Copies of this chain bind each other. A is one copy, B any other.
Amino acid sequence: MQNETVAKKPHVVIVGAGFGGIRTARALAKNDVKITLIDKYNYHLFQPLLYQVATAGLSVDDIAYPVRAIFRDQKNVDFRLAEVSNVDFETKVVTMNTGQISYDYLVVAAGGMTNYFGMASMEKNGFGMKTLDESVEIRNHVLRMFELAAHERDADKRRALLTFVIVGGGPTGVESAGALSELIYHVMVKEYHNMNFKEVRIMLVEASDKLLATMPEELRDITVETLIRKHVEVRMCVQVTEYDGQRMSLKGGEVIPTYTVIWAAGVKANNLIDTLDVEQASMRRAVVNEYLQLPTRPEVFIIGDAAHCMQGERPLPMVAPVAMQQADATAKNIRNIIRGKELKKFVYKEMGNMATIGRNAAVVHMGKFKTHGFFAWAIWSFVHILRLIDFRNRAVVFVKWMWDYLVYERVVRIITRQ
C-alpha cells in the first residue's frame, strides 16, 4: 500500500467516472469530505451518443470530456487514472494497477459492458458498442467495407461487404440502424459514383416480437414504419446462433453473408463485480439494499449499471437516469451517515423514454404524453444537447448538428487506423 496521508476528513472513494460516479462527486462538492475518483479512462463518456460516433455523425471529442476539466474548480476531488482490480471490504482498501488506497466510504459506479450471453463467436467477430474505442472501430470498419466494395468484382462478396447487421431492437439498435441508414443513403450515395446502392442491406434483428419494448404500442409501430421507410430490414422473432465474421447463422438454419454485425442486444455489469465479495443477481449486478448499500457493509454503495436494485417487481434498467438519481441519493445518504441522521430509501422517478430514428424522426413517451416525428426529434435533440456536460461541448455539438441537418453531410468519415 502506498503511504497515503491519513485524512482527517472522511475519504470517499468513487470507482467509475460515468454518469453515476461524476454525479456523486459533484453532489458532494460542498461537503467537508475528501474525494478520490478513479477511472481507467481520463474522460467522462456520453454513452447515449456512442452510436453517433460509430456512424460518423460526431467526433470522439464531442462525446468525451476530460474528468479533470469537470472538477477544475472542485478542489476536494482528486482524480486517479487507474484500473481497480479488487476491494478488501474488511480493511477498506481499494487495489488499483497503480497502487492501493483506503476509504471511509466507497461508491462503486463501475458501469456496464456488452453481454454476449456466452456466444463466443459473436464476442470474437461481432462489434460491441459500449466504449469509445469500439465505436471508432465500427466507424473505421464500415467505411473500410465501402472502400473494399467499391473495387470488388465478385458480386456475392460485394453484397456481403455491403450487408450491415445490427442485433438488438432496444434504443441502441434502433438509433444505430437509423443513423447508419442516413450515413449510407444521404452521404455515401453521393461519393461512390460507380456503386449500385441496391446492393446495400441494413438489417435490424430482434429476438422478441417488439422494438423499443418499453414504448407504447403506437410508438413501437411508428418506429418500425420509420425504419422500413429508411430502407432498414426489420426482422423480429429472430435469434442469432453464431457468427464467424463472414456468415451469420439464425435459429432455423438461415444464413446471412455479412462482414459486419453490431451486437446491441445485451448489457451486464462491469467485470469488476466478479472480483468483489458481493451477492450477484441477473446480469452480474450486485445486490444492494433499499439505500443502495451492500447489505453487510453500510459504508459501501453500489449504483448504476453495476447495482441490482428492485423497483416493485423488476430490477431498474441499466440507463443513465437511474445512475444519476442513485448518485444523488447516495451523496445524500453519505451526508446522512456523517451527520448521524437517518438514511433515506431510494425511489426511482421515471422521467420518460425517448429514442431517435435518424434525422428529424424520433419517438418520445413521458407519462401520458406521446409524440413522434420532427417535434419528437426536436425534444430529443434539446434534451441531449442540454445533457452534454459543459457549454463548449454543447456549442460545438450544436453547430455540427445544425450543419449536418442542413446539408446532410458527415465529415467525420476518416479511417483512423489501418
Contact = CB atoms under 8 A, between A and B. Distances in A.
A216 interface: no
Taken together, the copies of this chain in the complex come to 2
A193 B409 CA distance: 41
A337 interface: no
Given A43-B414, A191-B72, A392 B396 contact: no
Interface string A301-339: 000000000000000000000000000000000000000
A271 to B, nearest CB: 16
A258 to B, nearest CB: 20
Given A59-B61, A392-B409, A403-B395, A41 B80 contact: no
A51 to B, nearest CB: 17
A226 interface: no
B414 A64 contact: yes
Contacts of A403: 392, 395-396
Nearest to A399: B399
A411 interface: yes
Interface string A54-87: 0000011100111011011001001111000000
A41 to B, nearest CB: 7
Interface string A395-418: 110011001000101011111111
B415 A69 contact: no
A66 B416 contact: no
9 contacts: A41-B415, A42-B413, A43-B414, A69-B411, A98-B151, A132-B414, A392-B409, A393-B411, A396-B396
A44 to B, nearest CB: 9
Contacts of A150: 79
A190 interface: yes
Interface string A189-220: 01111100000000000000000000000000
A371 to B, nearest CB: 31
A143 interface: yes
Interface string A81-115: 10000000000000000110000000000000000
